[in-house]
Chain A
Amino acid sequence: MRKLRALWMRLTGLFGSGNADGEFSAELESHLAMHVEDGVRGGLSTEEARRRALIQLGGLEQTKIAYRERQGLPWFETFWQDVRFGVRMLAKSPAFTIVAVLTLALGIGANTALFSVVNGVLLNPLPYLHADELVTVHASKQNFTEGSISYPNFRDWQRDNKTLTALAVSRGTGYNMTGMGDAEEIRAELVSSDFFPLLGVKPVIGRLFAPHEDEIGREPLVMISEGFWARKFGSRPDVLGKVLTLDGRNYTIVGVLPGSFNLAINNFRSADLYVPLGQFQNPALNDRAAGLGIHGIARLKPGVTPEQAQADMQQVSEQLEKVYPEEDQGIRAKVVPFQYAMVRDVKPLLLILMGAVGFVLLIACVNIANLLLVRSNVRAQEFAVRSALGAGRARLLRQLLTESLMLSLTGGLLGLVLASLGTRVILQLLPRQLPRAAEIHMSGMVLSFTLLVSLAAGTLFGLMPCFKVFRQNLQDTLKEGGRGAGGARHRAQNWLVVFQMATTLVLLVGAGLMIRSMERLSAVDTGLRPHGVLMFGLQAPSSMVGSSPEATREYLRDANARIAGAPGVEAVSFSWAALPMQSDDEQLFWLDGEPKPQNENAMHWGIRYIVEPGYLKTMGIPLLKGRFFASSDDEHAPRAVVIDDVFARKFFGNNDPIGKRVYLEQFEDGPATVIGVVGHVNQWGLDNDAVNPLRAEVYQAMMQLPPQQLGLVLMGMDVVLRSKYNADAAFQSVHNVITDMNHEQVVYNPQTLDSVIAGTIAGQRFSMILLAAFAGTALLLASIGMYGVISYLVAQHAREIGVRMALGADRRDVFRWVLTRGGRLAVVGASVGIVAALGLTQVMGSFSVLLYGVRAYDPWTMLGVIALLMLVALAACYLPARRAMRIDPMQVLRTE
């Protein structure tokens, strides 16, 4: 407390010091007078008495200084002095200050923006209690390492495991909601009862699903989101017990989930409605071998590691395989930690970008160090004079550091502004499916990061010139009168430029590889002609649910004809099951002549498309052999399938596939005949299709679906159409036609095939844009650095150049000499950079998500960026070289 009081008094003493000084002088005067009086009384002369009094006091000025130091805070005073002096120095060269601060702001801003993304996505703990106990659970099986869990297996895993506190599953779905204004498609999630308790989510009002309410055959219940509650019910509490009509069935509302609940894991996405899993109206739900897109989450018992849980679950699924050798053959539980599951796709990308942006800051720091070095040469005189007057090294060091820290902190502050804008841009550029995007914001963590980076940067580039200043010989500098030359000085600057060139090259190689990847990706033949294709979801009126197969087919034909008749429509087809790059579905089959397999795992797998005759024309898929479906391939005609060329090659080799017969798993009554072969379509996106084990494609006619599956089509199918109009106009005209037909139908989620395809490479595009921006910034900074160093070189050697020219050197020789000096630096930098780049791009290449169709050491990229770097380096030398050429020998000699 006393210490604090003293500190406060000293702080106030700092400012009111003029008055206090006078007062102390008076006190000392009276002290001396009394002492002298005593001395005179003791028989001394006045002079002698005063002399002795002063000796005993220890000197007047010394006493005053000691007093003043106690009065204020000496370190603070010198600091304040440094700051004021620094501000004056920086204000004296505004061009330098502005360039330095802007460069830093750019570097620090980019780092802060990216760090806030990394912080939000990778570093922040998940907002759940004991989030490290959360894992995701899948079934690994043939073709799928993280496949879906069947309902009976889920129940058995739940019962038999010893390492999980709780295991829950979910599956996304959608409902046609009626009875509340216009019919509406509402996204929903089917969940098991444990889902929300496991995460620790509590309802706003009402209750969660109770145990056993998620079983098959229970009463239909529903929970709604807080947003849905506000929109549809005005947040009235009497919503509990009310009924929602979904797909024609009545669901009782039991609770409201908080708006803050926002989770994206596996296929789960926060939705407006949550329904117990047992309400899933799919006849295959209770089929142990079915793959219905159900995935799990679980909470580990305290102290259990994910590895232990994996071993336990492995054992449980092996046990089940013994009990159900057919259905559960090869099916194993797979446990993946929550956080890893969320961010694994973006983690390498973000880390590489963070590294790249760190390099940019480093280059910016080097640039400023370079500028400061040049300035320190100019200021060498000033420092020499100050040293000669008695300033200690520590004092000068502090002065220089104060100046550089002032620069870096100002840069950091400005960078923070840039970062808050930059973060917004990054969020817009980011792949839409970026996990945890909502958690990205400027937090205390981000602010401290910026502060730390600023301080580190300031110290880094501030210290470099310091060392040089101290290495200088005081006397020489004073004698030279500030002209200063010396090898060591250039060497430091040269190394900085080499470092910049090398780092820039690394960034350029990274960006170059991404650009080449994008080029390759854009050139990938998807097997489709995407331009002009519009896709959307369509749900039949809920009154149609449960109709006879005849009525269903009648409806489908009618709807198809009406849409085909809408203005601008060139071709249209309904689609169910798989849709390229959107959703997938599998067809299990065996070939004619093969014995019927004992279980599903022994069958062949293909991707299943259920379409209508217009599909081929709509999607622009080429017909290679035979014919595609016609409207005559209906329920009365023999069952037909069309296959793609991958299927044909894989299962029929060189034989003509037309007329071959295959047995499809869901049809008990006989085989289907191959009537045509079409081109392969990239089901799994631009970059992943070639490496996916499941590529064979098989098309079936929608009208030939068995009755049970035909009924499911009505609850939500896709419509694909090719239109002459742009997407908005096309959707509007079709929407009108459909609404005219029946108000109970729901049309939802329109998107163009172009945008779907672009979406599959959004991650690569994002990293390409950012890497290219970083590399461009680095190139700009490096060229400024080169320009500065070469300009300085020319200025330093003006005398020498002038003398040479006077002695008859050609101007072109001078020009060449300057370019050679710069070129040499660039060559050394590029060589170092290439070695570093080869190492770093190996890392990039090891993340298969980033590079496509180009090797990490792609020679063309390497050559290209080296050429670019050399060109820019020489361009940066051009102006100084011109200046050197124009040096007038006479003038130089005269100033000597």
Chain B
Amino acid sequence: MGDKTDVWQGTLALMVLKTLETMGPVHGYGIARRIEQTSGNLLSLNYGTLYPALLKLEQEGYIASEWGLSENNRKAKFYKLTRAGRKQLEREAQDWEQATAILARFLSPAEEV
């Protein structure tokens, strides 16, 4: 686990939303695993922090939850994106891309000015 990066503040929500967009309804454990896998196991995710973040998103109305059965027939709570969540994802993804683009320009070797 030595050189894994911690999840940056504020990006977890974005990752959750994106995960739900690509995978459809998933339970909390599934979201956690998916985020780890997507990051190529470079991210160290404390699974426990996922649940308050899910709760916050639900309180804000971006996601909804309901109980269902997992692939192994286990009772689990499934989360899915709401319409507001989809819009929020779009907005946040755009912001994020813009922010990284700006930062990338700063960090890339100076070309002609």
Interface residues of B in 52-90 (CB under 8 A from A): 52, 55-56, 59-61, 70, 72, 74-77
A30 touches B70 (CB 8 A): yes
Q: Verify if A24 is at the interface (C-beta below 8 Å from B).
A: yes
Contacts of A691 in B (CB 8 A): none
User: B29's contact among A2, A31, A70, by CB below 8 Å, is which?
Assistant: A31
Q: In the complex, are the beta carbons of A5 and B75 less than 8 A apart?
A: no
Instruction: Let me know if B76 and A57 touch, CB within 8 A.
Output: no
Q: Hey, which chain A residues are within 8 Å of B60, CB to CB? A: 2-3, 5-6
Bound Cα distance A69, B55 (Å): 11
The stretch of A32-40, A156-164, A412-420, A672-680 in contact with B is: A32-40
- Residue numbers of B with Cβ under 8 A of A are 27-29, 46-49, 51-52, 55-56, 59-61, 70, 72, 74-77
User: Across the interface, do A57 and B56 meet the contact criterion of CB distance under 8 Å?
Assistant: no
Contact of B74 among A34, A62, A66 (CB under 8 A): A34
Instruction: Determine the distance from Cα of A67 to Cα of B27 in the docked complex, in whole angstroms.
Output: 16
Given the contacts A34-B72, A34-B76, A37-B72, A27 and B47 also touching, CB distance less than 8 Å: no
Residues of chain A with a CB closer than 8 A to B70's CB: 30, 34
Please tell me if A452 contacts chain B, counting CB pairs below 8 Å.
Answer: no
Nearest CB of chain A from residue B74's CB, rounded to whole Å: 6
CA distance A3 to B59 in the complex (A): 9
**Interface bits A12-51 vs B (CB < 8 Å: 1, else 0):** 0000000000001011101101110100000000000000
Could you tell me the distance between the alpha carbons of A57 and B51 in the complex, rounded to whole angstroms? 10
Once A27-B77, A63-B51 are accepted as A-B contacts, the answer to whether A34 and B29 lie under 8 Å apart by CB is yes
A54 to chain B, nearest CB (A): 10
A residues within 8 A CB of B29? 30-31, 34-35
Chain B residues with Cβ below 8 Å from A6 are 56, 59-60
Return the chain B residue nearest A62 by Cβ: B48
A9 interfacial contact with B, CB 8 Å: yes
17 CB contacts below 8 A, A to B, read A2-B61, A9-B59, A26-B75, A27-B28, A30-B70, A30-B75, A34-B29, A35-B29, A35-B47, A56-B46, A56-B47, A57-B46, A57-B47, A58-B48, A59-B48, A66-B52, A71-B55
Q: Which residues of A from 49 to 98 have beta carbons under 8 Å from B? A: 56-59, 62-63, 66-67, 69-71
| One of B27, B59, B61 near A31 (C-beta < 8 A) | B27
B74 and A63 form a contact (CB under 8 A):
no
Distance (whole angstroms) from the CB of B17 to the closest CB of chain A: 14
For the complex, is A10 an interface residue (Cβ under 8 Å from B)?
Answer: yes
10 more contacts with CB within 8 A, not counting A56-B47, A62-B48, are: A5-B59, A5-B61, A30-B70, A34-B76, A35-B47, A58-B46, A63-B51, A66-B48, A70-B55, A70-B59
Identify which of A31, A37, A58, A70 gathers the most chain B CB atoms within 10 Å of its CB: A31
Name the distance in Å between A12's Cβ and chain B's nearest Cβ: 10
The complex places the Cα of A59 from the Cα of B72 at a distance, in Å, of 25
B76 touches A30 (CB 8 A): yes
Whether A67 and B52, one on each chain, are in contact in the complex, defined by CB atoms closer than 8 angstroms, is: yes
Q: From residue A59, how far is it (CB to closest CB) to chain B in Å?
A: 7
- Complex CA gap A574/B82 in Å reads 96
Return A77 CB to nearest CB of chain B, in Å.
16
Known contacts A2-B61, A30-B77, A34-B70: A66-B49 contact under CB 8 Å: yes
Assembly CA distance A62 to B46 (angstroms): 11
Bound: A132/B72 CA distance, A: 83
Known: A2-B61, A27-B76, A37-B72. Is A70-B48 also a contact (CB below 8 A)?
no
Most buried by A among B27, B48, B55, B76: B48
Closest to A58 in B: B48
CA distance A3 to B74 in the complex (A): 34
Chain A residue numbers with a CB within 8 Å of B27 are 30-31, 34
Q: Which residues of A contact B (CB under 8 A)?
A: 2-3, 5-6, 9-10, 24, 26-28, 30-31, 33-35, 37, 56-59, 62-63, 66-67, 69-71
Cα of A37 to Cα of B29 in the assembled complex, Å: 12
A66 to B72, CA, bound (A): 28
In the complex, how many angstroms separate the beta carbon of A70 from the nearest chain B beta carbon? 4
Kindly list chain A residues whose C-beta atoms are within 8 Å of the C-beta of B74: 30, 33-34
The chain A residue with its CB closest to the CB of B33 is: A38
Residue of B nearest to A56 (CB): B47
Across the interface, B52 reaches (CB within 8 A) one of A33, A37, A59, A69, namely A69
In the complex, which residue of chain B has the Cβ closest to the Cβ of A5?
B61
Beyond A31-B27, A56-B47, A62-B48, whether A70 also contacts B56 by CB under 8 A is: yes
Q: Bound state CA distance, A844 and B48, in angstroms?
A: 70
> Which residue on chain B has the smallest CB distance to residue A7?
B59
Q: How far is the CB of A51 from chain B (nearest CB, A)?
A: 14
**B51 to chain A: which residues have CB within 8 Å?**
24, 27-28, 63, 66-67
Docked pose: A10 CA to B74 CA in angstroms: 29
> In chain A, what residue has the closest Cβ to B72?
A37
How far apart are A430's CB and chain B's nearest CB, in angstroms?
57
Q: Give the complex CA separation of A599 and B99 in angstroms.
A: 93
**Docked pose: A27 CA to B27 CA in angstroms:** 9
Q: How far is the CA of A70 from the CA of B27 in the complex (A)?
A: 19
User: CA of A37 to CA of B27 in the docked complex: distance in angstroms?
Assistant: 15
Cα distance A59–B51 in the bound complex, in angstroms: 13
Whether A57 pairs with B48 at a CB distance below 8 angstroms is yes
| Chain B residues in 8 Å Cβ range of A66 | 48-49, 51-52
Give the residue name and chain of the A residue nearest to B65 (CB). A27
A23, chain B: closest CB distance, angstroms: 8
* Complexed CA–CA distance, A30 and B32 (Å): 14
| A316–B29 CA distance with the chains assembled, in angstroms | 93
Q: Closest chain A residue to B77 by CB distance?
A: A27
Contact B77 A70 (CB under 8 A): no
With both chains docked as a complex, state the minimum distance between the C-beta of B87 and any C-beta of chain A, in angstroms.
11
Instruction: Kindly list chain A residues whose C-beta atoms are within 8 Å of the C-beta of B61.
Output: 2, 5
Q: Provide the residues of chain B in CB contact with A63, threshold 8 Å.
A: 47-48, 51
C-alpha spacing A443/B74, complex, angstroms: 64
| Residue numbers in B under 8 Å from A34 (CB-CB) | 27, 29, 70, 72, 74, 76
With A and B bound together, what is the CA distance between A9 and B72 in angstroms? 32
Please name all residues of chain B whose beta carbon is closer than 8 Å to the beta carbon of A2 when the two chains form the complex. 60-61
A57 to B48: give the CA distance in the assembly, Å: 5
CB distance from B23 to the nearest CB of A (A): 15
Which of the residues B49, B59, B76 comes within 8 Å of A58, measured between beta carbons?
Answer: B49
Chain B positions within 8 Å of A10 at CB level:
59
Bound complex: CA of A57 vs CA of B47, how far in Å?
4
Q: Which 6 pairs, one residue from A and one from B, show the smallest C-beta to C-beta distance?
A: A58-B48, A63-B48, A70-B52, A6-B59, A9-B59, A58-B46
Cα-based distance from A345 to B70 in the complex (angstroms)? 86
Residue in chain B with minimal CB distance to A31 = B29
Contact A31 B28 (CB under 8 A): yes
> Distance (Å) between the CB of B82 and the closest chain A CB?
12
A33 surroundings in chain B (CB, below 8 A): 74
Give every chain B residue within 8 A of A3 (Cβ-Cβ).
Answer: 60
Rounded to whole angstroms, the CA-CA distance of A5 and B27 in the bound complex is 24
Q: Nearest Cβ distance between residue A25 and chain B, in whole angstroms?
A: 11
A6 to B74, CA, bound (A): 30
User: In whole angstroms, how far apart are the Cα atoms of A26 and B46 in the complex?
Assistant: 19
- For residue B112, give the distance in angstroms from its CB to the closest CB of chain A: 44
What separation, in Å, do the CA atoms of A233 and B96 have in the docked complex? Answer: 79
A116 to B57, CA, bound (A): 50
Expressed in whole angstroms, the minimum distance between the Cβ of B13 and any Cβ of chain A is 12
Complex Cα distance, B77 from A37, in Å, reads: 17
Chain B residues near A67 (CB-CB < 8 A)? 51-52, 55
